[in-house]
Each structure stands twice: as C-alpha cells, then as structure tokens.
Structure 1
Amino acid sequence: MRREDEECDEEVQVRRNKQNIAAAMVAAMVSQPTKEQSQWGGSIVGRSYKPRNRVMSYANLMNNYFNPNSVYTEEDFRRCFRMRRHVFERLLRDVQQVNPYFRQKLNRAGRPGFSPHQKVTIALRMMTYDSSADSMDETHGMSESTCLNTLQQFCDTIVQVHKDEYLREPNQEDLNRLIRKAENRGFPGMIGSLDCMHWDWKNCPTGW
C-alpha cells in the first residue's frame, strides 16, 4: 500500500514538473518578440503616444546651430560637434542623397518624422560623446529604438559613401603628404604614432 502511494506521488510530481516546464516555455514565448511582433512597435495609430514634441526639438536645434544668427557661434559648433559646420552639412547632404531614411517623411501614425538635421545630429552625438539612446530621448525627444536605428543607418551609409576615399590604406601619395605635414610641425620621418626615443626630454624619469 505504501509503495503504491509512493508511485502515485511520484507520478503526480512528474506531471507537475511537466506542467511547470510547459508553463515556463509559454511564458518565454510570449515575452520574446517574434518576427511579426518587433520589440518596439514604433508610431502606430491607436497605440499610447508620448508627446515628445519633436517639432519643438527641431526648432531649438536649428535656432541653436543652423539658422542665420544662431545662438552658438562657429567655434561653439566645432566644439560641440567635433567638426566644422561645413563638414556637418556635407555629411548631411551625402546621407540624404544615398539613403532615403534621412529624408523627412510621415511616420506610420501620420505625423511628420524627424528631420535630417535631427537624425544626423543624434547619430554624431551618440558616437562623439558615447551617449546612450536613453539620453537622446531626454534631450532630443527621440525614442531608444529610433536612436539605435538612426545610428546604424548613419554608420552604414557613411561606410558606403566614403569607404573608397577615407576607409582605405594610404597610398604613396598619402604617405608623402603626411610626412611633409609632420616635418612642417617638427617631426621628420613620422607616420602614425610618435616615436619619441630620439628626443631629449629634461624631465624624463630616471627609470626610463
């Protein structure tokens, strides 16, 4: 009688374990996004909408850096963007010509999307300052998923446009130009990293 009870208890436990495993598998499937259901749904009519006010963010960006008589000067622009304004405008023009993602259009909710200036600015800020996507949401009103997508689109487009000119090994003409530039600055024969072994330094540590 006791052995029969033990066998019944064991069967019950096995059945419960199977049920728990099945329930865990179902929960995992529900929590994981599928191909039809992405992790971030984007702007869809009827979905809860966060009033990030991208129009105001765009107006502030243009007034601060790009409009005539902007708040910040050319030197401020170079310090904040780590490049001159004309370089930014060249990048902006290049990515718009190659990738339709950087042309402003209506989103799936029928609202105007982010401007090309906003997208390029956010991509550059994330790379220049190692900023997280969440911080861009707070300062520029762009959601995390859109920030990450914008950064990916920007990097892929820049590689596509400029790989033949800037992302290649230097040829002899490039090397000669770099050597001349280094010599004019007092570093003859230098390519790449600076070799200081032959330079006298009165404060050199004794251990060296």
Structure 2
Amino acid sequence: MTVGPYCSSTTLPNGRIPEEGRAGRPPGAVKPPSVPLLPPACALILSLIALDEEGERKKKRRHGSVHGREVVYRDIQAVNLRIVADYFADVPMYNEKFFRRRFRMSRNLFLRIVEGVEAQDDYFRQRPNVVGLLGATALQKVVGSVRMLAYDVPADSMDEVVRIAESTMIEAFKHFVKTVVDVFGDQYLRPPNDDDTRKLLASNERRGWPGMLGCIDCMHWRWKNCPTMILEAVSSQDLWIWHSFFGLLGSLNDVNVLQRSPLFQRKRILTMLKMVVRC
C-alpha cells in the first residue's frame, strides 16, 4: 500500500539514515533496519482502510439462516407441474389463444426461448439447494420474467404465479434479459441486411404499401421517481423489431424523437457513403 507524501518516515528517499541517526553507533555495528514512523493521521487512514477491507470480506461470507426470518414452503415442484398442465401439456387447460394473450407470443416461440436461455446460462438449470431440495425450473423462471414484461408488474406479484420469492425473481429477471440478448441478439437485434430489406419491401408491397420497410412508433415508459421515458421502435408485419431507441424524456414529442433517432442518422450516413463511392 502506498502512503501519501505527508506520511514521512525516519529514512531519506535514497534509503540512507540521516546524519543525526548515525551518532553513537559503535564501529562495526550492524545497521539497524529502518522502521518508518507514521504520523497519527496516516495511521488512522490505514486503520480505516483495514476495517473497510475486513467489512467487505465479511459481506462475501455466506452465513446460515437469518435470525427471525420466516421460511415459506412454496412447493415449487407442484407449481411447475401445474404450469405444465395449464399451458404445455399435450392437451393443456388453456389453448394457444389464451397463451398468446397472456404471454404475447406463441407457445413454440416461448419454448424456444426457454431452451436457448437454459443452454446458455447455468443459472436456469434446475439444481438442488444446500438441503438437497430442487429449486425452480427454467420454465418457472422464464414464465415469471415474461409475465413481468407482458403485464408490467413487480417481481413480488410472481410469487403467486410461479412460487418464486421476490429477491430470487428479480435475480432471475436480470439473468433472463441478459441471456436473451446474448443468445438472440446477433440474429434479431440488428438492422436488416440487403436480403432482409428485399423481403420487407416485397412483403409490404403485397399489402399495398410499396417502398415501406416497417412501422415506426413511440411509446412512453413509466420510470420510478422520474418523468416518463420514450421508447422508439420499428417493427415488421411479423413483429420483428429490428430497431429500438430508448432514453429520451417524455416531454419531447414524436418529431423531436425522430430528429434525435440513430435510425435516420444511420440512413444519412449510408446515403453519404454511397454518394462518395459513386464519385
């Protein structure tokens, strides 16, 4: 640890002992090691740093059950079987119409997402806890995460649906959004290439909109303790959202958002590059 310039010692910068420290040394005596003497202020700083490091180490240690904490038996396995019977059995209780309305996607797409995140992130694999009981499945974690996104509800409300506590549901949600980007980002979270552009133009021309690439719209997103935030998105007919722009204040109108959007900035840059190439 480097001590500041105000923390002086009994030795000079070159390692020699000052002249007044040599007086009285008998000939042939061994040179005593120089021990730096820290002023009270530096000693206090070092003590505080040591206490802080000790506190960080204690935070990382795992303790047993928290005293006074109420343990809730959620019967996670029974809930997983109920979810399968409701939506994913050969003859489910709720058909495809109910599933699409409640999850905002088809059942096949949902199962593809579950398989993708489970294969990418070990967090979604069902594992036993310290007492040997199996935890929540990938299906339960993804069901809770998608329902939070579809209905804009807090994590605590998912306890009644998938029987996952609030803190665990928040952790699962963070893993979910990150893993979805890692797995599907290269394929879907990108602008259309030349082949995609031809398909989009042909599809929209058949619908009576020649020259249209997609539909652009802006929506306001509620943000805690802040003004609303604006989300701009461009989508195709099959709901491929190939552009999104988020973060502007809700006080701006759609025209202001479009002027600041990287979508048209990218278009202008590509047009300028084509002009340069032609020249």
- If the length of structure 2 is used for normalisation, what is the TM-score? 0.52
Q: Which has the higher helix share?
A: 1
Q: Which has the higher strand share?
A: 2
1:76 is the counterpart of 2:98: yes
The Cα shift of 1:36 comes to 4.3
Residue deviations 1:130-154, cap 9 Å, x none? Answer: 1111111233211111111111111
**Counterpart for residue 143 of structure 1:** 165
- Which of 114, 139, 154 aligns to 2:176? It is 154
- Which of 185, 188, 211 aligns to 1:166? It is 188
Kept in 2: contact 1:45–1:109 (CA 8 A): no
Task: Report which structure shows greater RCO (CA 8 Å, sep ≥6).
Answer: 1
- Which of 107, 115, 139 aligns to 1:117? It is 139
CA change 1:76–1:105 in 2 (3 A) is same
Q: CA RMSD in A?
A: 2.7
Kept in 2: contact 1:96–1:102 (CA 8 A): yes
Match of 2:212, SS? coil
Identity rate of aligned residues, in percent?
37
Kept in 2: contact 1:175–1:191 (CA 8 A): yes
CA change 1:100–1:129 in 2 (3 A) is same
1:98 is the counterpart of 2:129: no
Residue deviations 1:89-128, cap 9 Å, x none? Answer: 1111111111111110112343210011101111111111
CA change 1:85–1:42 in 2 (3 A) is farther
Kept in 1: contact 2:143–2:162 (CA 8 A): no
Equivalent AA in structure 2 for residue 180 of structure 1: A
Q: Where does the alignment leave 5 or more consecutive residues of structure 2 unmatched?
A: 1-54, 218-279
Residue deviations 1:65-103, cap 9 Å, x none? Answer: 011211011222122111111111111111111111111
- If the length of structure 1 is used for normalisation, what is the TM-score? 0.69
Q: How many positions carry a matched residue from both structures?
A: 161
Kept in 1: contact 2:144–2:161 (CA 8 A): no
Whole-angstrom distance in 1 between the partners of 2:143 and 2:110: 9
